[in-house]
Structure 1
Amino acid sequence: MELFFAIFFSFPVIIFSTLLTLCVLYWLVAAIGILHIDCLDIDFDGIDAPPSTGLGGLLLKFGFNEVPMTLIITLISLLGWILSYLSTRYVLIHIFDMSWLYYLSSVTVFIASFIVATYLTAWLIKPIRPFFNKLGSENSHRTFLGQAVIIRSSIVNEQKGEAIYEDGGAGLILQVRSDDRYQFKRGDKAILLRYDSLSNSYEVINESDFMENVK
């Protein structure tokens, strides 16, 4: 046990030990509801083309932009800790004494552990990325429900129709549908009632009817 703690607090393991400890504390705090699970996530919503260089490019390369960043950091910290701990336990402390050569080798171990942990994390999350994509898509569509849109097509029925959602920019063009109870024309204001994933469209109702139902 003494050897374990000696390595735990030694360089380079201490870097991953600190990160892993913070991650464990974060998940504990999140579990009791003080923090939101996605509070550290990096969001690319609304960006037409995420950057291909820098942090954005790194996220895209490994597919990290599709998974909650809290999970990514936790996995890299855990895998990096395991790799650096094993390297120190079975290699460094048996070959080098506490000299400049030890610290130079430790830096190499840290860099190698971080790189390998990053690639391993990308490999581990690959099977679950579709789940987070689907979950993120559903949450994104859910945020539009109850919002007002302006009808842009000449007709809205159960087969076709388009509306514009004013997002503060150029506006988003959404596919909308409505049954025969409501008659819409271009320029009318409507409310997004529910989302249909099969047709990728929103059911809309008149603003006046929506307000009456709310009351």
Structure 2
Amino acid sequence: MVAFLNIISSFPTIVYSVLLAFILAYWLLSLIGLLDIDILDLDLDIDGDIEFTGLTGSISGLLISCGLTGVPLTIVISLLVLLSWILTYFTDFFLLQLLEPGWVHNVLGLACIVISFLISVPITARIIQPLRPLFQTHDSRLGSIVGTTCIVTSSKVDEHFGRAEITKDSDAIIIHIRSSEPNTIHKGDKVLIIDCDPDKNIYKVASID
């Protein structure tokens, strides 16, 4: 136990230990309802036309090229941090602990941080692959739903982001929604679907009030 604590609190493992602590705190707050699971979600539409501009566009392009789309970004980040922590911990335990503290140890530790993350990327892409259907936002069973209502599930709804849940044939289906700003739409509100972009599976909504 002492050796475990020494490793997770020393370089290089401590880098991912700190990140993992933030991830655990986030999921704890999500479980008690203080945060949304999609708080960091870029709302990527891998089937639509994507224009990679600015920082968000660069991140979007990187995620798509690495196969890290189709699930909420928070899940992707959590898996990346967890896997990187595991790889770094065991590398530290079996290799770096044999070295004396010094510049060699620090250089190898820095390399371990980078390499562990790079190895975690394809592993995470493989893990989330079977999870994508759970977060699918388009369903052929929807048909024409313009004029019906849905329940907002995201923390906000604006011109670039938003999700809602609609019930069809006793099934709850998640859809992408958008709304003009400013608005007073919040999570849990019932909104009216007033228009649809069939090419991108995006629905425009308005507050019932």
Identity %: 34
Output aligned runs, 1:185-204, within 5 Å: none
Query: What TM-score, normalized to structure 1?
Result: 0.61
TM-aligned CA deviation for residue 167 of structure 1: 7.0
Contact 2:42 2:60 in 1 (8 A): no
Given candidates 118, 128, 133, the residue that maps to 2:131 is: 128
Which structure is higher in RCO with an 8 Å CA cutoff and minimum separation 6? 2
Output aligned runs, 1:19-168, within 5 Å: 19-44=19-44, 48-51=49-52, 54-94=58-98, 96-133=99-136, 136-137=137-138, 145-146=148-149
Equivalent-residue separation in structure 1 for 2:147 and 2:39 (angstroms): 21
**CA 1:66/1:50 → structure 2, altered by over 3 Å: closer, same or farther?**
farther
SS at match of 2:89: helix
TM-aligned CA deviation for residue 54 of structure 1: 2.8
Gaps of 5+ in 2: 151-177, 181-191
Query: What TM-score, normalized to structure 2?
Result: 0.63
Size of the aligned set, in residue pairs, is 152
Query: Would you identify which runs of 4 or more consecutive aligned residues in structure 1 move more than 6 Å?
Result: 141-144
**CA 1:143/1:127 → structure 2, altered by over 3 Å: closer, same or farther?**
farther
Equivalent-residue separation in structure 2 for 1:58 and 1:4 (angstroms): 34
Contact 2:146 2:193 in 1 (8 A): no
Q: In structure 1, what is the equivalent of residue 160 of structure 2?
A: none
SS at match of 1:65: coil
Q: In structure 1, what is the equivalent of residue 10 of structure 2?
A: 10
**CA 1:90/1:113 → structure 2, altered by over 3 Å: closer, same or farther?**
same
Instruction: Name the structure where helix makes up a greater proportion of residues.
Output: 1
- For the pair shown, the structure with the greater C-alpha radius of gyration is 1
TM-aligned CA deviation for residue 47 of structure 1: 6.6
Contact 2:80 2:117 in 1 (8 A): yes
Letter in 2 for 1:44: L
Equivalent-residue separation in structure 2 for 1:75 and 1:19 (angstroms): 11
Equivalent-residue separation in structure 2 for 1:144 and 1:97 (angstroms): 69
Q: In structure 2, what is the equivalent of residue 159 of structure 1?
A: none
Equivalent-residue separation in structure 2 for 1:3 and 1:167 (angstroms): 53
Output aligned runs, 1:172-187, within 5 Å: none
Equivalent-residue separation in structure 1 for 2:29 and 2:77 (angstroms): 16
SS at match of 1:64: coil
Gaps of 5+ in 1: 148-165, 169-190, 203-213
Contact 1:44 1:50 in 2 (8 A): no
Q: In structure 2, what is the equivalent of residue 158 of structure 1?
A: none
Letter in 1 for 2:118: I
**CA 1:192/1:17 → structure 2, altered by over 3 Å: closer, same or farther?**
closer
